[in-house]
């Protein structure tokens, strides 16, 4: 089954009681049993819900995994993955990553005895020199947030397997339409389904996908025991979003290429970070492991000042100034004060995240209108 067909059909079936083509929203907290211990597979909605089950099956299918595990947000999914580890374990993470991930690593789990090392991973060989006997996980984003660095998933997976550590990949920026890390050797895929999977800026949701039974059972146990589950309405919205992921991502990619090239040729723009440029570091790796380059990008102005960046950020109309990404509408953001404000400034600067960096989530509007919007804002 090809991906576009799989996105619409995999993991779901018409409701057997009514024939409804969309999975119903099972808005219930508990289920009636015919006798103690005799039920229809459902006992309590924190543990199981039919709407959530349908989504979990769909997510597993589209990421070419065997098990999907859903959570109330992307960070709740990250939280669950980290709970696979024990005090004293070490995690090697990319140095360019979502600010909320950095925050949960350093401000929440570090005080419980997990140790995090943040390193550049554009050359995957750099990972191996940081592995110690206590290393239990490698955590990567690719493309990274917000500098769109590309990390070789297959190479990282080989290093992880050689050293008997887990490889977790945050696949939020790419989505399953563009990239499938499990196929490249990753053990765990994490999504903020709030973003491209939901796709309409109307739900907060997270997911983990694996293809290892033992890992899956550990994660289901954590999901049930800690209770960070999504409600059935949220699961329904993500199921709906997945059905149009392929057509949305096609337009995100088309518009992204147009906007990235417009910005690169603008006389007032300095650097544009987008993996689709042939001179982007690791562009060849991106071509190998991705099916397109997406609609996420960042840029700086030649007048590299916060004042100039703020003028652009405050003067777009179709690009809305807001947190988040991956919706049908275009968004513009300022990582230093928004999505990455929780990372100390010295760390941001050291990793190349300038105070003046502007991040775009290019939506599916008409590209000519988006270009005109940026033209007026940049001047």
Q: Looking at the annotation, which residues are catalytic?
A: 46, 98, 170, 195
Q: Are 331 and 325 in contact (CB under 8 A)?
A: yes
Q: Are 353 and 340 in contact (CB under 8 A)?
A: yes
Determine the length of the chain. 379
Cα dihedral 369/372/373/379 (nearest 10): 180
d(CA 214, CA 107): 29
d(CA 50, CA 340): 36
Q: How far is CA 9 from CA 4, 12, 54, 182, 234, in A?
A: 9, 6, 11, 20, 19
Instruction: Show the tokens assigned to 167.
Output: 């490889």
| Cα-to-chain-centroid distance, residue 168 | 12
Contacts of 311 (CB under 8 A, 6+ apart): 377
Three-class DSSP labels, 269-289: EEEEECCCCCCCCCHHHHHHH
DSSP E strand boundaries for 56-170 = 67-71, 90-94, 115-119, 135-141, 166-170
């Amino acid at each position: 089954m090809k991906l576009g067909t799989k996105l619409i059909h995999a993991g779901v079936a018409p409701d057997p009681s009514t024939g409804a083509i969309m999975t119903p929203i099972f808005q219930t907290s508990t289920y009636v049993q015919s006798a103690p211990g005799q039920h229809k597979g459902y006992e309590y909605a924190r543990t199981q819900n039919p709407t959530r089950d349908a989504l979990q099956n769909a997510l597993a299918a589209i990421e070419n995994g065997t098990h999907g595990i859903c959570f109330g947000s992307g960070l709740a999914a990250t939280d669950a993955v980290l709970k696979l580890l024990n005090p004293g374990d070490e995690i090697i993470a990319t140095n360019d990553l979502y600010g909320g991930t950095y925050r949960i690593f350093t401000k929440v789990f570090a005080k419980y005895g997990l140790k995090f090392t943040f390193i550049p991973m554009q050359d995957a060989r750099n990972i191996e020199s940081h592995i110690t006997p206590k290393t239990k996980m490698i955590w990567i984003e690719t493309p990274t947030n917000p500098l769109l660095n590309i990390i070789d998933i297959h190479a990282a997976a080989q290093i992880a397997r050689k050293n008997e550590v887990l490889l977790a990949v945050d696949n939020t920026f790419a989505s399953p339409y563009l990239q499938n890390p499990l196929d490249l050797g990753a053990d765990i895929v994490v999504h903020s389904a709030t973003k491209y999977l939901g796709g309409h800026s109307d739900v907060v949701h997270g997911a983990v996908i694996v293809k290892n039974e033992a890992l899956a059972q550990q994660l289901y146990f954590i999901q049930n025991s800690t209770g960070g589950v999504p409600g059935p309405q949220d699961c329904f919205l993500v199921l709906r979003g997945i059905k149009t992921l392929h057509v949305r991502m096609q337009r995100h990619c088309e518009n992204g290429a147009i906007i990235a090239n417009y910005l690169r040729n603008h006389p007032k723009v300095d650097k544009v970070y987008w993996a689709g440029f042939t001179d982007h570091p690791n562009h060849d790796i991106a071509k190998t492991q991705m099916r397109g380059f997406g609609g996420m990008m960042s840029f700086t102005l030649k007048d590299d000042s916060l004042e100039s960046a703020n003028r652009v950020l405050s003067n777009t109309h179709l690009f809305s100034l807001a947190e988040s990404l991956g919706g049908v509408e275009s968004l513009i953001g300022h990582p230093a004060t928004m999505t990455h404000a929780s990372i100390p400034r010295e760390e941001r600067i050291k990793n190349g995240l300038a105070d003046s960096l502007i991040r775009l989530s290019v939506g599916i509007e008409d590209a000519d209108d988006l270009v005109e919007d940026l033209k007026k804002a940049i001047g």
